[in-house]
Amino acid sequence: LVTDTPINLANAYFEIFPEDKQPVWTSPCQDKRHMSIWSGRNCSQLPSLVILGPQKSGSTALHFFLKQHPRLLTNPMTTHAFEEVQFFSSDLYYNKGVDWYISNFPTPNSTSTGTLVFEKSATYFTHLLAPERMRMLIPKAKLVVILADPIKRAYSWYQHVKFHNDPTALIHNFTSVIKASRKNSSSQNLLNLRSRCLLPGIYHEHLERWLEYFPQNQIYFVDGGELVDNPINVLLGLVEFIGVEYLDFGKILKFNPKKGFYCVVSSSKRSRTICLGRSKGRQYPALSKENTQYLERYYSAHNRKLYQMLMKMSRRPPTWLMEEASYRQ
């Protein structure tokens, strides 16, 4: 029998199984032995509700509105990743471990029963490893997915990256991005930008991955169009799903004509509203008819699959999906 130092044994092991180098954190809250050595932490600090995104679906507005509920606590605006924790979708943050994740959140007061912690990271929805990682750490978490019209979402995303000076978006208009292909010898950068722009909107594929790890009754769908037009109704349904007490969001949210969106009524001066910053609800030219038609064709089969998936789960499809009559045939 031959043996070696722990470090050398670990190195030998990882040479044979390199894929195991990436850790998977399981919940310390489900094992008494873990709990006994995991000092100073509180399981109620782990989120029991996660808004998964996707990006440019209205996720910041939903997070902002939901945190007005006194029973729903969340992380303060982090500076490390655009106000999001992004633990499950970033190897850098994930490798920092469970204590780092938990340290982002406040501890619910032990005397206020029914208070829970939630987070929103819009990068989770499309990330290949996020469903499994989340399942291993917070298997009972309720998940929220915002289904915004994928065409509007793609256009909003393009405007977003252009605004952030993405070099490829700066030199290619939206038409060139969505129509980029190997056949018309587009550059690799342009092809990558096209994928990043369009693939998140193939909702059924991402959902199938989440459903491998979470039961459907833990997943709630928000209609992205309704979130813009009638967020009060959206929040009513969501709060019921979460199981926290009723809150009259009609008194908390108000449409701001200047912003063109609903905003939060200021608690100190009720005639004032607090809206999301300038990077949310941007002004840009309307999408051309030609691009809309191109994207309708691009998403048509995918949207039909999403429609069938939602029907199978007995969920109400979002309005933009219902409007496409062909899905119902």
Q: Nearest approach, Cβ of 23 to ligand A3P (angstroms)? A: 29
Q: Classify residue 198 by its DSSP letter.
A: H
**Between residues 61 and 85, which has the closer beta carbon with respect to ligand A3P?**
61
Q: Which of 53, 56, 275 is nearest to 163 (CA)?
A: 56
Q: Nearest approach, Cβ of 138 to ligand A3P (angstroms)? A: 21
Q: Nearest approach, Cβ of 206 to ligand A3P (angstroms)? A: 15
Sequence-ordered strand ranges (E) for 122-266? 142-147, 219-223, 253-256, 261-265
Tokens representing residue 175 in the block: 């038409």
Burial, 81: exposed, middle or buried (Cβ in 10 Å; 0-12, 13-18, 19+)?
middle
Q: Which of 104, 97, 30 is nearest to 73 (CA)?
A: 104
Q: Which of 56, 120, 142, 162 is an active site residue?
A: 56
**Between residues 57 and 90, which has the closer beta carbon with respect to ligand A3P?**
57
**Between residues 61 and 117, which has the closer beta carbon with respect to ligand A3P?**
61
3 state SS of 253: strand
Q: Nearest approach, Cβ of 300 to ligand A3P (angstroms)? A: 23
Q: Which of 292, 300, 290 is nearest to 326 (CA)?
A: 300
Q: Nearest approach, Cβ of 37 to ligand A3P (angstroms)? A: 39
**Between residues 60 and 75, which has the closer beta carbon with respect to ligand A3P?**
60
**Between residues 164 and 328, which has the closer beta carbon with respect to ligand A3P?**
164
CA distance 311 to 305: 10
DSSP string over 256-273? ETTTTEEEEEPSS-TT-E
Q: Which of 122, 105, 150 is nearest to 59 (CA)?
A: 122
Give the interface with ligand A3P as residue ranges (CB under 6 A). 55-61, 122, 156, 159, 227-228, 261-262, 276, 280-282
- Give the contacts of 73 (CB within 8 A, at least 6 positions apart): 67, 105, 106, 108, 115, 116, 117, 118
Active site residue 21: no
CA distance 251 to 169: 41
Q: Nearest approach, Cβ of 261 to ligand A3P (angstroms)? A: 3
**Between residues 320 and 327, which has the closer beta carbon with respect to ligand A3P?**
320
Q: Would you state the torsion angle of the CA atoms of residues 35, 36, 37, 41, taken in this order, to the nearest 10 degrees? A: 50
3 state SS of 147: strand
**Between residues 56 and 135, which has the closer beta carbon with respect to ligand A3P?**
56
Q: Nearest approach, Cβ of 202 to ligand A3P (angstroms)? A: 17
Please list the active-site residues.
56
